[in-house]
Amino acid sequence: MEIINLGHNNSVLNNYMAQIRDKKIQKDSMRFRTNMRRIGALFAYEISKTFSYSEKQVQTPLGIAAVPTCDDKLVLATILRAGLPIHEGMLSVFDNAESAFITTYRKYGAGKDFTVNTEYCNTPSLEGKILLICDPMIATGLSMIEAYHSLTAQGGEPIHTHFVCPIVSADSVDELKKSVPANCSLWMAAVDEELTGRAFVVPGLGDAGDLAYGAKL
């Protein structure tokens, strides 16, 4: 699995990353969603550089312009609900992409142990397409792995999968490496080294779904 950390490059992306982590700025849910959309759009732009292109002839009012445009078919998938703003930002760039949606959740047993379950999965065919799965933050990596296997079990095998996760834990990177095929790429902007006893990322950013859409019961 290829790993790309966009946070290593000095760009405006890091401004948005700082703002989504800032507990004072987080109080403004609209700004949090806006920054997540911006982050999604920036990731989409960088990922677009990996696609296949061919030259097309475009009729302008004054003549013909030769323009290289993308040939790949894309499916954007998000883990509900936290991933929705990133999904929207990516969809604003990949406006012809299809969409897939999935819910995964932790089910705790005795003590701190938990399993990850899928409650809902809806995807178009993934055969011969490029799959992009977004989630703001991955702690253990188990939710992302579960989402990948549920989507491909239902939609078939994509030619390549891009995991878009602005914040990841070091443990989750190792887990993804072991659990997904080689034709996958992980795109991130920060690696947080610490997990709490209940497998929450530190420093992280908190619950992205709650910050974007309000607290849940």
Which pLDDT tens digit goes with each residue over 54-98? Answer: 999 999 999 999 999 999 999 999 998 899 999 999 999 999 999
pLDDT at 111 over 80: no
Mean pLDDT along residues 165-171: 94
Report percent pLDDT > 90 for the chain: 79
Q: Provide the token pair at 146.
A: 């579960």
CB-side neighbour CA atoms (13 Å) of 160: 15
Q: Shortest CA distance to 180 belongs to which of 137, 136, 150, 139?
A: 150
pLDDT at 108 over 80: no
Going from the N-terminus, what domains does the chain have, and what CATH number goes with each? 2-47+69-213 (3.40.50.2020)
Nearest to 185 by CA among 177, 195, 174: 177
CA angle 186, 33, 49 (to 5 degrees): 35
CA angle, 132 as apex, 131 and 133 as ends, to 5°?
115
